[in-house]
Amino acid sequence: MAIGVIGSGSWATAIVKILHENNPRVSWYIRQEAAREEVRLRHRNPTYLSDVRFNMGHLHLANSIDELVASSEIVFVVVPSAYLATWFEPLTADLSSRLVVTAIKGIVPGEHLTASEFLKQHYGLSYGRMGVVTGPCHAEEVALQRLSYLTVACKATADAERIAQLLRSDYVHVTPSQDIYGTEYSAIIKNIYAVASGIGHGLGYGDNFQAVLTCNAQDELERFLEGTYPSPRNANASPYLGDLLVTCYSQFSRNRTFGLMIGKGYSVLSAQMEMNMVAEGYYASDGIEHISRQHGVELPIAQTIHRILYEGANARREFEQLSTLLV
């Protein structure tokens, strides 16, 4: 089975690592030619997870997105949401006949669309030909082969199991699901709460506050899902609560790091520049604000973060007010 991966960041690199260890034919499209050549010559990504070494006998580097799509039955899309349109702009090959799996935990800026919604709207994909990979899983721990858990959601259980089988290994457990909407939006909205966790830490709030903040964040997450797309789901399962917890507490969470910098007094721009990595929670904040208002869903924590990031509100004053609302 021909498998392709689009993307060059840490999560894309981790996905390629998992896939090419399990499968003899994986193609990888990296947009930057210099990075492609580094992988080709030195068998590693020079920028992300550079300690991971690739078996080039199992890995083919595509020179264009068209080459990758044309040669792949299953295409994994693993790029930051802010750059999804840019990555796909040169595409002329037919994407709609492929099984497309997104592993993007963000909202496309300006359009307020998830990755699957963007691909459906702009490239004619149906949900019957799409899947979503989510879960409490940091790329850095995949690189270290620490035990990790993923969820694959597809409309058809058979497709979810087919994709899950490609990812399963001694250190990666994968569960199939049919909740495309719930798992994808959970993976997005939890980044906002990780930013909140970081801001709280940067402002000097302790573990007691963080625990209550996270409990309230889980309530908001459930309220958002039920208010926008009600469906039978266990919101305490790993792709919902588990992903929220690891993103709020982990040292590897770039969204928590971004929030920490805001809490310590950095401007949004200066924090973004110093990180030199995409914190999806920034874009998610604006998208979720828009969607929650459309559906009349109240999200006090998410709305607080939006005011801080997009309206220039003072973080300390906002958190003082927020602290009176938490239970």
Q: Hey, which CATH number is domain 189-326, 3.30.70.890, 1.10.1040.10, 1.10.3720.10, 3.65.10.10?
A: 1.10.1040.10
Helix (H, G, I), strand (E, B), or coil: what is residue 244? helix
Predicted pLDDT at 276: 76
For residue 278, pLDDT over 90 is answered with no
Q: Can you tell me the distance from the alpha carbon of 301 to that of 310, in angstroms, rounded to the nearest whole number?
A: 14
Predicted pLDDT at 68: 98
Residue-wise pLDDT tens digits, 46-65: 999 999 999 999 999 999 99
Predicted pLDDT at 231: 92
Q: What is the CATH T-level fold of the domain 3-178, as seen in this structure?
A: Rossmann fold (3.40.50)
27 beta partners: 4, 60
For residue 327, pLDDT over 90 is answered with yes
Q: C-alpha angle with apex 220: 177 to 198, nearest 5 degrees?
A: 100
Q: Can you tell me the distance from the alpha carbon of 112 to that of 287, in angstroms, rounded to the nearest whole number?
A: 5
Cα dihedral sign, 269-112-150-243: positive
Residue-wise pLDDT tens digits, 13-47: 999 999 999 998 999 999 999 999 999 999 999 99
Burial 167-187 (b: 16+ CB within 10 A, else e): bebeebbbbbbbbbbbbbbbb
CB 262 within 8 A of CB 308: yes
User: Any idea where the domains of the chain sit in the sequence?
Assistant: 3-178, 189-326
Predicted pLDDT at 58: 95
pTM of the model: 0.95
Indicate the DSSP class of residue 241: I
For residue 74, pLDDT over 90 is answered with yes
Instruction: Tokens 């969204």: give the residue.
Output: 255
Predicted pLDDT at 277: 78
Residue-wise pLDDT tens digits, 126-182: 999 999 999 999 999 999 999 999 999 999 999 999 999 999 999 999 999 999 999
| Tokens matching residue 145 | 């082969």
Predicted pLDDT at 89: 96
Residue-wise pLDDT tens digits, 226-253: 999 999 999 999 999 999 999 999 988 9
